[in-house]
Amino acid sequence: MAEPKSVDELDLSPLPGKEYWSCGREWREEFIYFLMVDRFHDGRPRKPVPGPERSASLATQAELGRFCGGTLKGVARNLGYIQDLGCTALWLSPVFENDGAPAPGPAGPGRAPDPAGESYHGYAIRNYLAVDPRFGTKADLVELVDQAHRRGMRVFLDAVANHCGDLFYYEGDTPRYYSDDHARYPMGGWRSPDYPVPAELRNPDYFHRRGQIREWGWDNIPETQWGDFYSLKGFNNDDDPAGLELQDIIIAAHRWWIREADIDGYRMDAVKHMGETAIARFCQAMREYAYGLGKRNFFLFGELVASDDAVNRYTGPNTAGKVGDKTIYYGLSSVLDFPLYWVLPGVIKGFVSPSSLINRYEALRERALNRGELGRYMVTFLDNHDQIGQAYKRRFAAGAQDAQVVAAVGYLLCALGTPCLYYGTEQGFSGEGPSDHLIRETMFDLRNPGRDFLNKDCRIYREIAKIAKVNGEHPGLRFGRMYFREVSGDGLHFGHPQDHPCTLAFSRVLAKEELLVAYNTSTTERRRDCVMIDGGLHPAGSRMTYLYGGRGDVAVETHPDPANGARYVRLDLDPMQFVILR
């Protein structure tokens, strides 16, 4: 059957005889694995070099700046590697057809697609109704989702509804930039007679056409919503007749993929650059359509590079207040937790005061239903394919010791939120440099056709899998209230740590159970600190048992001052030791 070219050709009724997959897990129960399709696996027979050490890609910036050969079949054939790590959900980078893909017919006037294929990342979409042929076919995507469902894993696609590829050029085919008077530029023409798809998108009024966002304009309204993402062309998502028509087209295309592939959610790219009503309409449309197919808990999480105040407006039962004469409910299930990403890596590595991490959570108390429910609204992560905010790009593992990588991922698995792991972190990938390409290494060796880096014997991989298992066995680590604990070196004077090295500790409390998580931030010194716990849950003389990172148990002690009824445990931690106790 020919691929559809128009939304008029889309059948949005349920597939005949199809029973759509539904999962009862809450979002907080997921452990998401985020991979770039082009970078994970090419599907060829390959094997890793076994052993506890990290893997290292030798690929150059030039090699990583183009398509490398990863496919959907490559992902499907290695789902066991992801599941054995403890991950329960898969987030794929955009899979739809991008600029530079092989296409019928000659290129139109203007600049031809880049033969280097830098749109390997997937965010330069030109056809929303087809899988990019470099990744595979629609059948490959359907098979991948089906195999994941058989393993009990959810699959999320990346939705790019703010912009498309470089599908047209401005008059003169020269770059245009946003102007202070918000001027619209005339369109010179389409770069190809065949794109964009759906064909309904071939309407100049469906694009803002105000040129690229300037270096200083990324947080300026309306420039950040009306400007182009570099050469990628921004959609007109405004609440006007043309904008509403555009939104209906984008909604129909994304609904169709739920119908066709039975996916379980979308990660929405660049949500703060979209109009408020556009986000709300997209989320409501996806959720309602999924419900109609029998799919429950359809997950919609957004990329929101913003402060906690902005996060508060976009998630949960909150609204953004009035937009014109309308009250907006965005409808996002959750957002990527950038405020944590900006703080946690430095704390784990000992570069940033632990007080900054503790204060960040204290600031969240104003918007928490309780200290546990807030986790529903945050997808937490250490690093990703962009490393936003870094002029010099660097993965978390670059310059970090194995134990620090384990502790950082362990923190995500034990703290509030839905943990998300960027592919390769479990192998200690340490890419760094001036370009995004260098933090987007391949999990298969570009220079050795028989070798990949999916090494289950890697020390980091093994330890993450152990912590994920503890997370799955103890509901308190997913649903419990979270409290940072005061510590003391002498058992008399307690307080939250302010400097490094220190013992960083927090508890998750669910009903009558407390789980204690602690980490020695020192890379060289052993620490023997006392850590405060909930005295109402631990009688004097009772003991807490190690679930991870230690052996045996420790005694619950009472503060030596008779007037102070506080209770604590004394933890003996090696440098960078990460532990969980119950």
pLDDT(412) > 80: yes
Mean pLDDT of 110-135: 78
> Would the CA dihedral through 363, 364, 369, 373 be positive or negative?
negative
Token pair listed for 460: 């980091």
Q: Which of 176-185, 309-318, 456-465, 505-514 has the lowest mean pLDDT?
A: 309-318
Mean pLDDT of 160-165: 96
* CA 269 – CA 163 distance, rounded (Å): 9
Note whether residue 108 is domain-resident: yes
Q: In terms of domains, do 412 and 543 share one?
A: no
What is the total count of domains within the chain? 3
Per-residue pLDDT tens digits for 537-565:
999 889 999 999 999 999 999 999 888 88
Q: The CATH number of the domain where 507 resides is what?
A: 2.60.40
Q: In terms of domains, do 335 and 391 share one?
A: yes
Looking at 190, 209, 236, the residue that finishes a domain is 236
Using the structure block, give the residue that is written with the tokens 């503890």. 470
Q: Are 408 and 344 in contact (CB under 8 A)?
A: yes
Length of the chain: 582
Per-residue pLDDT tens digits for 430-478:
999 999 999 999 999 999 999 999 999 999 999 999 999 999 999 999 9
Interhelix angle 276-292/241-261, nearest 10 degrees: 30
Q: In terms of domains, do 44 and 113 share one?
A: no
Looking at 449, 473, 497, the residue that finishes a domain is 473
- CB-based contacts of 135: which residues, under 8 Å, 6+ apart? 37, 38, 70, 71, 72, 95
pLDDT(152) > 60: yes
Percent of the chain at pLDDT above 90? 82
Q: In terms of domains, do 392 and 506 share one?
A: no
Q: In terms of domains, do 366 and 425 share one?
A: yes
Helix (H, G, I), strand (E, B) or coil at 533: strand
pLDDT(105) > 60: no
Note whether residue 426 is domain-resident: yes
User: Alpha carbon 353 to chain centroid distance?
Assistant: 25
Give the pLDDT confidence score for residue 366 in this predicted structure: 65
pLDDT(116) > 50: no
Using the structure block, give the residue that is written with the tokens 């990744």. 135
Our CA dihedral for 210, 211, 213, 219, rounded to 10 degrees, sits at 0
* CA 19 – CA 21 distance, rounded (Å): 6
* CA 506 – CA 497 distance, rounded (Å): 12
pLDDT(314) > 80: no
Residue type, 22: S
The residue among 35, 115, 126, 113 whose CA lies nearest residue 67 is 115
Note whether residue 479 is domain-resident: no
Give the pLDDT confidence score for residue 114 in this predicted structure: 45
* CA 369 – CA 384 distance, rounded (Å): 29
- CB-based contacts of 467: which residues, under 8 Å, 6+ apart? 86, 406, 409, 410, 413, 414, 548, 578, 580
Give the pLDDT confidence score for residue 393 in this predicted structure: 95
Note whether residue 478 is domain-resident: no
| pTM, full prediction | 0.95
Q: The CATH number of the domain where 269 resides is what?
A: 3.20.20.80
Helix H, strand E, coil C: the string for 275-304 is CHHHHHHHHHHHHHHHHHCCCCCCEEEECC
Note whether residue 2 is domain-resident: no
Q: In terms of domains, do 83 and 221 share one?
A: no
Looking at 236, 254, 283, the residue that finishes a domain is 236
Q: In terms of domains, do 196 and 210 share one?
A: yes
Helix (H, G, I), strand (E, B) or coil at 445: coil
- pLDDT band at residue 306, thresholds of 50, 70 and 90? confident
Note whether residue 283 is domain-resident: yes
Q: Which domain holds residue 501?
A: 485-581
Token pair listed for 538: 């631990």
Q: Tell me the β-bridge partners of 97.
A: 127
Q: In terms of domains, do 390 and 374 share one?
A: yes
Give the pLDDT confidence score for residue 57 in this predicted structure: 82
pLDDT(524) > 60: yes
Q: In terms of domains, do 192 and 292 share one?
A: no
Radius of gyration of the chain (CA): 25
Note whether residue 182 is domain-resident: yes
Q: In terms of domains, do 302 and 399 share one?
A: yes
Q: In terms of domains, do 419 and 292 share one?
A: yes
Q: Which of 115-124, 323-332, 443-452 has the lowest mean pLDDT?
A: 323-332
Q: In terms of domains, do 387 and 354 share one?
A: yes
Note whether residue 480 is domain-resident: no
